[in-house]
Amino acid sequence: MKPDPKFNPSDVFYSLGDLCELMGAIYDVLHEMDYVRPDGSRNAELDRVAALQRIAKSQVEMLAAVTAVFDGPNEWVCVTDSEASR
């Protein structure tokens, strides 16, 4: 995969922000669901999905926070591997 010359690092920040919103909406829906089956037992699969989603949500939020440095009116220059090794 070649770098897109139109790519701007701020795109990462804004994409992660959108992903945060999506993860937040999924979190809200999952935590409004009934985790108890009609027979009174706990739905272990739903518990597992909710726990994994909570991990993903916190990781995306952390990534969005650390990429905030990319949000701004900066000019970014793509450095290739050969240029970086000089």
- Domain assignment present for 77: yes
Structural domains of the chain, count: 1
pLDDT at 76 over 80: no
- Domain assignment present for 59: yes
For the chain, percent of residues with pLDDT exceeding 70: 78
- Domain assignment present for 2: no
Cα separation values, 54 from 18, 63, 78, 79, Å? 16, 14, 34, 35
pLDDT in tens, 21-44: 999 999 999 999 999 999 999 999
Please list, in sequence order, all residues whose beta carbon lies within 8 angstroms of the beta carbon of residue 61, skipping any fewer than 6 positions away: 20, 23
Domain range for 26: 10-84
- Domain assignment present for 62: yes
CB 57 within 8 A of CB 23: yes
Phi and psi at residue 34, to the nearest 5°:
-85, 120
Average pLDDT over residues 73-83: 64
- Domain assignment present for 3: no
The tokens for 77 are 């220059």
Average pLDDT over residues 58-85: 77
For residue 37, the model assigns a pLDDT of 94
pLDDT at 54 over 80: yes
- Domain assignment present for 4: no
Local structure of 19: helix, strand or coil: helix
pTM over 0.85: no
